Structure formats: structure tokens, C-alpha cells
Amino acid sequence: MHIDKLKYSFNCSMFMERKIMKMGPSSLVISLPSEFVKKYNLKKGNDLNVIDAGDALVLRTDKETSLGACDISISKFNPIIMRVLGVLYKVGYDEIGINYDAEEKVFNNEKYSELDLIQKCADVYPGVDIISLKKEKIILKENSKIIPSEFKNSLNQAFFNLTQLASEVLRSLKNSTFNSGKEIELMEKLLNQNTNFCLRMISKKTYSDFSKTPNLYFIIVNLEQIGDLFNSVYKVAVNSKIKLNKGFLELIDELLSLVLLFQSAYQKFEVEKVIDFAKKSLKLNKNLINIGIKGKIEEREILLMISNINARLYDLIEPFLAINHEKIITS
């Protein structure tokens, strides 16, 4: 028996045998693990969803997974403070107490404030608010319960945010208009909000098919990172005031086409779309190899980013097929 809770299925790897008992003339029953019953406060008469998953039965309760509250001192985590706080949000803590150092710090010859970093994190964590700010301690707390139906909407919105971001980067570079920085930053922020929220929902038992969550998690993380790379392409071009030639713009245009094609395939799975996506990505990779690393430093940097985006897009194929494996086999 598999218990459909991330904490059980992934962290604890809990496995135990249960004897089948007979009740009445034809009903066969098994007992529930006591730890599972206590964790979700299950009582006689509560409903459980039972899913037939081949050689396993998946038991689900409508009560979401909660890790409760935690405290952390973040000063020792520089330079990965934002990543550490992001992990605590995504794995599903309802309340996060953050101890910080109010003094201004320096890293790589750049000044930073731990309070500013916390604020930046809170801005891209949907569903939580700063409820307390005392001397050198902030408390983030969940402000509403997650509705399972929000997952699909949030992921679709993340796809939209990414295509909008990539389109705006391409438009700005084509026109050599480097005044779209605020719009692009906002688009990336919206993308980060939606992907972060999707990852939190997965941890809190929103996505129904637990066997597919690792692959889905990988896809969502990469959507966010692809958005970061598109923004970085724009920033390099702006900072260097470089005008990209037709060849570079065509490469970025092909990346946008790939993003749109993957979005279309995700929303309506068709094998032909996946094959077309793979062929176009491999062709783009071949073109990148033929171009080689040459030109100005900034052009080489942008070319490496384009190559990285294409590689991340191509890497989406395997997990995408995995979450749609029933649709690619012959019955």
C-alpha cells in the first residue's frame, strides 16, 4: 500500500504489510497505519479517496499536508539566503520565523541587506504575508488555505508569463529599445510567483497523481529558470548597449517558438507536437554548434545563454513524456 503524502512517500519511504480481514459475507478490509491516522486526525466516518494505481492502492485525504511552523537564522546562509527561504516556502511550512542581522553586509564587493532579501522573497511567495516585524526577526505566515483547483490555473498562468517574457525580450532586442526593463522584471516576478506557488501546492498534496510529481516538479523549476535566462539575455544586451545581428535574433525567435510549442503540447498532449518540438530543438542546437563561440564577449555570453535555454527546453521532453506515459503506449 502506498500512502499518497509527500512526507510519507518521499521522506519516510514508509512501507508496512497489512493483513486482509473479512467483514461480512463479501467485504475485505485492512487497517490504516496509526501514524497516518494521527497525522490527519482521521475519525470513523471520514471519507478517503481510493485510487487504483495498478499494483498499488493510493489512499488520499482532503486534508492538506502541513509542516507547521519553523525558525531559521539566515545570516550563515549567505550567499544562498533567498534560495534557503524559497525551499522553506516550497516544501510547505505554514509559518516561518526568520532571524536576521540588521547590519549592512558586503559580498563580492557589493552591499546587501538581509532585510531587503527577505522582503524580495516575500514578494514572490503567493499565499503568505509578513505578519510580524520585530528587531531582527520577521515572521511569514500562510494567509489562506490552498484550493486544489488553483494548481492548473497557476501552471497555465506560468506558461503565459514565460511566453510573454520571451516575446517582450525578443521585441526589445529587435527594435533595440532598451526601455522595457521594468516590464520584463515584472513579467519575471509574475512567473516566479506562479511557479513558486505550484511547487508549494505539490508539496501540500494538491497534484492528485503522486507518482508523477517528481517529473512535474522538474518541469516547473525549469520554466522558472528559463525565464531567468531570457531576462539575463536582455540585461546583457542592455548593459553593453549591443545591437544583435539578424542571426542572433533568429535564434531567440526559434527559442520563443519552442516555448510556445511546449506550452501547446502541455495543454493538449499530442505525440506529433513532442516530435516536432524535439526536431526543432535539435536543429537549433546544431545551428548553435555551427556558429561557434566567437565575436564580442557580450555576444559570446548571450550565445551561451541561448544554448542553455535550448538545452533546458530539450530536457523537458523526458519528464513531460513521463507524466503522459499512458498516452504514448499502445493499448
CATH number at residue 260: 1.20.58.220
Asked if residue 5 has pLDDT above 50, the reply is no
pLDDT at 44: 80
Q: Of all residues in the chain, what percent carry a pLDDT higher than 70?
A: 87
Beta strands per DSSP E along the chain: 2-3, 21-23, 27-29, 49-52, 57-60, 69-73, 95-99, 105-107, 110-112, 128-134, 137-142
Judge if 208 and 94 occupy the same domain: no
Name the least confident of 26-35, 110-119, 194-203: 26-35
- Domain span at 272: 150-327
Instruction: Give the 3-state secondary structure of residue 70.
Output: strand
Specify whether 226 is located in the same domain as 277. Answer: yes
Chain-centroid distance of CA 264 in Å reads: 18
User: In 133-245, which ranges are continuous DSSP H helix?
Assistant: 150-175, 181-203, 213-240
User: Do 313 and 274 sit in the same domain of this protein?
Assistant: yes
pLDDT (tens digit per residue) in 280-324: 999 999 988 877 666 688 889 999 999 999 999 999 999 999 999
161-204 per-position pLDDT tens digit? 999 999 999 999 998 888 889 999 999 999 999 999 999 998 88
Is 90 exceeded by the pLDDT of residue 74? yes
Using the 3D structure, point to which of 142, 164, 185 is the last residue of a domain: 142
Per-residue pLDDT tens digits for 223-257: 999 999 999 999 999 999 888 889 899 999 999 99
**Mean pLDDT on 22-43:** 78
71 or 107, which is more confident? 71
Task: State the pTM of this model.
Answer: 0.81
Q: Across residues 30-39, what is the average pLDDT?
A: 78
* Number of residues that this document lists for the chain: 331
Q: How many domains does one find in the chain?
A: 3
175 and 310 fall within a common domain: yes
> Does 308 lie in the same domain as 201?
yes
Give the CA radius of gyration of the chain: 23
**Domain shared by 237 and 318, yes or no:** yes
Q: How far apart are CA 47 and CA 157, in angstroms?
A: 32
Q: Please say which residue of 142, 162, 197 terminates a domain.
A: 142
